[in-house]
Amino acid sequence: MIEQLKTDFERFFNSKKTIENLDLRKENLEYFLKQGFPNKKNEDWKYSDLNSIISLNFEKLNFFYDDEVQKKPDIKYIDDIDCNKLILINGKIAEINFDQVDKQNIIILNDNKSDFSLENKNPLIYLNNALTQNVVKILIESNYQVKKPIVIYHLLSENLKSTLLNQKVEIVLGENSQSRIVNIFQENNNKNFINSTSKILLARSAILKNYKLDISYNNNIKYLFDKIELDENSNFEHFIFSQGSKFIKNEIECDLKGKHSSAFINGILNLDKSNHHEIKTRINHISESTKSYQLIKNVLKDESKGVFQGKIFVNKKAQKTDGYQLSKVLLVDKNTEFDAKPELEIYADDVKCSHGSTSGNIDENSIFYLMSRGLSRVQAKQLIIEGFLLEVVEQITDSEIKKFVEKQII
């Protein structure tokens, strides 16, 4: 696999006339080669041994692909929300269909200039830095409130198979701007590995509501890394619904850099079969009077595995921090596994921080109660599970999108 990677890097290098930051890319590739895919010896990957997941799922992995896509794959469009549409195929913008006024205030482009500034240096980010062919950039003008939600369809071309796809997204919200973004993952079913990083910057008083929905079933492996930086008074709302893929690690690193900035990270892992998903968060309270809230709920069926690793870090300057984190899991079937690692690391003395984690089975008395009203066992269980998850959906502050998400998952 490593030989393949070296050859594919050469192919990539020869495929285009100019490749930006070639030296940096080579350097990043070297870093990756030194470490290889992370395995369970790496504390951050303790519960999700990517190295063995890859060897179990891929006999061969390609690292290069042509990002000039000719044919658009089939898309299941959302038709119940009036929205701006952005279609990405293999990590590159293929179609933009935006409201006229919104379009004038948002810059959207494919760029070959990569950003190498991500501080989290794990092997996958090195690999992403080395091989990403295209960066999708979305820049929202200051003082502009985007009217319609931006729905981003993440797709793969049909011929992409057993390939490791690297993509980068950069989203910048200017001062006092507002936007809603819904990410819909509809990748093909060809055993690909998607290694995606996004960098999201919120300038002063900006508001971003960002939703990620992995609903449709597929056999892909994904690593989705989000780095969010918040300036003074800005507000970030994040919601993850993680269900369809064979494996996903959602990693979120959020820097509350400006005073009074706040982040709300809510997520659902709704897993069955032998799917294995993880949510890992790190909230850095850097300035004072910052707020973070995390609610993660998990429903595990069959032989699925869920992982939540969440850390609230409070810098010594970040007095008056308000940090909250809670993870709950319903283990529906007995062969399921859930690993949780909640952590607080606090260097300031005037803070309010709490975390908690609960796990359990579906309460038999509750099932009895609902069945005594005529519902079958299956219906009763389903109702209890939906009710359990609904509490997270309730956290979505945009009513239109809340309704949509509710419909998607229930």
Partner 1 sequence: MLKIKDLVAKVEGKEILKGLNLNINPGEIHAIMGPNGSGKSTLSNIITGKKGYEISGDIIFENKSLLDLEIEERAQKGIFLAFQYPLEITGVNTNNFFKTSLNVIKKARGEKELDAIEFLKLLKSRASELKFDNKFLSRQLNVGFSGGEKKKNEILQMSLLNPKLSILDETDSGLDIDALKIVAEVVNSLKSKDKSFLIITHYQRLLNYIKPDFVHVLMNGKIIKSGGREIALELEQKGYENLNK
- Kindly list the distances between the CA atom of residue 6 and the CA atoms of 21, 22, 163, 197, 386, in Å, as whole numbers in the listed order: 17, 14, 14, 22, 47
Write down the least CB distance from residue 383 to partner 1, Å.
6
Helices (H), 90-191: 100-105, 123-131
Q: Which of 53, 389, 396, 401 binds partner 1 (CB under 8 A)?
A: 389
How far apart (Å, rounded) are the C-alpha atoms in residues 408 and 304? 21
* 399 scored as a contact of partner 1 (CB under 8 A): no
Is the Cβ of residue 14 or residue 374 nearer to partner 1 in the bound state? 374
Is the Cβ of residue 347 or residue 368 nearer to partner 1 in the bound state? 368
Write down the least CB distance from residue 83 to partner 1, Å.
27
Site for partner 1 in 198-237 (CB under 8 A): none
Write down the least CB distance from residue 358 to partner 1, Å.
12
Is the Cβ of residue 97 or residue 376 nearer to partner 1 in the bound state? 376
String of contacts with partner 1 for each residue 366-385, x by CB under 8 A:
x-xxxxxxxxxx-x---xx-
Is the Cβ of residue 14 or residue 372 nearer to partner 1 in the bound state? 372
Tokens describing residue 208: 């971003």
Write down the least CB distance from residue 389 to partner 1, Å.
7
Reduced to 3 states (helix: H, G, I; strand: E, B; else coil), residue 34 is helix
CB burial string 198-232: b at 16+ within 10 A, e below: bbbbbbbbbbbbbbbbbbeebbbbbbbbbbbbbbb
String of contacts with partner 1 for each residue 330-369, x by CB under 8 A:
---------------------------------xxxx-xx
How far apart (Å, rounded) are the C-alpha atoms in residues 129 and 126? 5
Contacts of 313 (CB under 8 A, 6+ apart): 282, 283, 284, 285, 345, 346
Is the Cβ of residue 356 or residue 387 nearer to partner 1 in the bound state? 387
Contact footprint for partner 1 (CB under 8 A) = 363-366, 368-377, 379, 383-384, 386-391
